[in-house]
Structure 1
Amino acid sequence: MEPRWLNNICRRMLWTGFTLYIVFVAEPTSAIEIHADPEVIVQNGTKGVLRCTFKSSEVVSTWTSVTWSFQSSQPDHQFSKAPYVIYHFSNGKGFPGQDEFKDRVEFIGDINKKDVSIQLNPAQFSDNGTFFCDVKNPPDVKGTQARTELRVVLKESFPQSQTAVIIGGVCGALIVLIIIAVAACFVIRVLHNRQDYEGCTTLESVSSQALRLQKKAESSREGSTCSSPSGPVQGPVIYAQLDHSGSKNSFHKIEPVVYADIRKN
């Protein structure tokens, strides 16, 4: 009779085999998509982040595993011919490889958010090469691993960061706006001065015209004064003769008397 513990082990093995058959064989599998940055440039002695994400139709579980591998680009490196594992993550735990990355590699992603990024601290010149990111999320186990080319450079040869480019672009745009504003103010000022000049010219023309009209009127008045008599114009005078002799029918003394005096002002 077989011992009970052996029967329990056999049952567990059969159940595990049946589960694996259901997961990997009976159910159809779909491809998993893995994405990583094609190239990363890091300054020597600083932190180097290698980002990697994946897309899967299945829910992340304890069966999900992540494997990071490295292949050196230096011909004299001992691992330049084939990639080797530098970090493995499974069942919620990380396992750094027993190599030069052991104390420098750190898992900074969140597998529940399908982020499996790692960080090298600090990055070294010996890290120049290709890093491979591979994810398995059963039953999504088929997929092409992503790869990232890491370049570790000196500070002097470190390319301008994206932030510096953005800041430079913003500063350039502000300078252009300031130049446009100054030019606009200059044009407005010139036009304003021109309008003031034209207004003054118009006022002077009006004043000159008014002065000419005034002089013309005065000349007309002077001509009228010279052609007219200095005193008031006297109209025709009618004279009559009066008799002071006492006789009604005879006139002994004739004396001119003004009968009517019509004066014309």
Structure 2
Amino acid sequence: MLISLHSGETQWASALKLSCVAMVMFLACPVMSMDVLVPALINALNGSDVRITCTFTSCYKLDPSKFAMNWTYQETSNSTEEMFMTYKNTYKMIPLKPSRFGERVMFTGNLDKNDLSITISDVQLTDEGIYNCYVRNPPDRIQGHGTIQFAVLTELPPPRDSTIAVAIGASVGGILALLILSMVVVKCIRRHKNQELISDEQKMEEEGKVDGEGGTEEATKNLSLLPEDI
């Protein structure tokens, strides 16, 4: 009886330890799976050198003996993917040098910083398409995947003509200035009229007071001139 009880306590303690370890791992690593970070769209000028970035986050440190990644290219979303760079148990990135790119693709990332970026030199019109960055970092079970739409421009877009915008802004500013000036003038005129009305009312009140005082004095004089009652 004591042995079975001790065995039950041991199992309970083991389960508690496993739960604590799982909780610590969860708190220490809020990212439950791998995340691959890439730009959704890159516009490149024909003939230029362009860096295509791809980085990833993982709960686990990169193990060169288990880590694997591939770069692939597609002309369209319905086209077959063509692998042009890979890493698998070799401790370095291996460009496959397909006929499309030749030696124009170079790994310019940093595995120590989870950076898997590449650079395409002398961009051609045929480089336009979809680039996929696949990452696997065991013991992460989920394979990370980032998709980049790559567009090649034959010339830079013309700068926007700001003349119209400046003219419109100046016109609107002038109209606003006139409105503000008109409001100020109207306000000043109203204030001046109000002051004149107040002055007129004050004058009328003063004249009324003077008239009242004069009438009182005259009445007093008239009373003094009347004969005394006998």
- Shorter-chain TM-score bucket reads 0.5 to 0.7
One of 194, 197, 218 as aligned partner of 1:198: 194
Q: After TM superposition, give the deviation of residue 47 of structure 1 in Å.
A: 4.3
List structure 1 segments (4+ residues) > 4 angstroms apart after TM superposition.
Answer: 30-33, 89-92, 181-193, 222-229
**Gaps (5+ residues) in structure 1?**
1-29, 74-79, 165-170, 236-265
Q: Secondary structure of the residue that 2:207 maps to in structure 1?
A: helix
Amino acid at match of 1:203: S
- Kept in 2, the 8 Å contact 1:34–1:143? The answer is no
Please name the residue that 2:73 is paired with: 70
- Output one character per residue of 1:127-149: Cα deviation in whole Å (capped at 9) or x when no partner: 11111111232343652533222
Quick one: which of 51, 54, 58 aligns to 1:52?
A: 54
- Aligned partner of residue 43 in structure 2, secondary structure: strand
The residue that corresponds to 1:17 in the other structure is: none
For 1:88, which of 80, 86, 93 is the aligned residue?
A: 86
SS at match of 2:143: coil
Matches of 2:92 and 2:182, distance apart in 1:
68
Of 206, 209, 230 in structure 2, the residue corresponding to residue 210 of structure 1 is 206
Counterpart in the other structure of 1:120: 120
Give the letter for the 2:72 counterpart. S
**Structure 1 counterpart of 2:24:** none
Q: When the two structures are aligned, how many residues end up with a matched partner?
A: 182
Report the Cα offset of residue 35 of structure 1.
4.2
1:98 maps to 2:97: yes
Cα distance in 1 for partners of 2:206, 2:83 equals 103
RMSD of aligned C-alpha atoms? 4.4
Letter in 2 for 1:152: V
Q: 1:227 to 1:42 in 2, by over 3 A?
A: same
Greater gyration radius: 1
Counterpart CA distance in 2 for 1:197 and 1:106 is: 82
Q: Distance in 1 between matches of 2:142 and 2:149?
A: 23
Encode CA deviations 1:92-144: one digit per residue, 9 max, x unaligned.
53333324434433434333332322233343311111111112323436525
1:27-74 residue CA offsets vs partner (Å, 9 max, x unmatched): xxx96443433433334344434332323332113233332111234x
State the AA in 2 paired with 1:66: M
The aligned amino acid for 1:116 is L
**Structure 2 unaligned residues grouped into runs of 5+:** 1-31, 161-165
Contact 1:104–1:120 at 8 Å: present in 2 too? yes
Amino acid at match of 2:206: A
Report the AA paired with residue 151 of structure 1: A
Q: Secondary structure at 1:93's aligned position in 2?
A: coil
Per the TM alignment, residue 214 of structure 1 is displaced from its structure 2 partner at its CA by 1.5
Question: Percentage identity across aligned positions?
Answer: 19
Q: Which has the higher strand share?
A: 1
From the two aligned structures, give the one with the greater helix fraction.
2
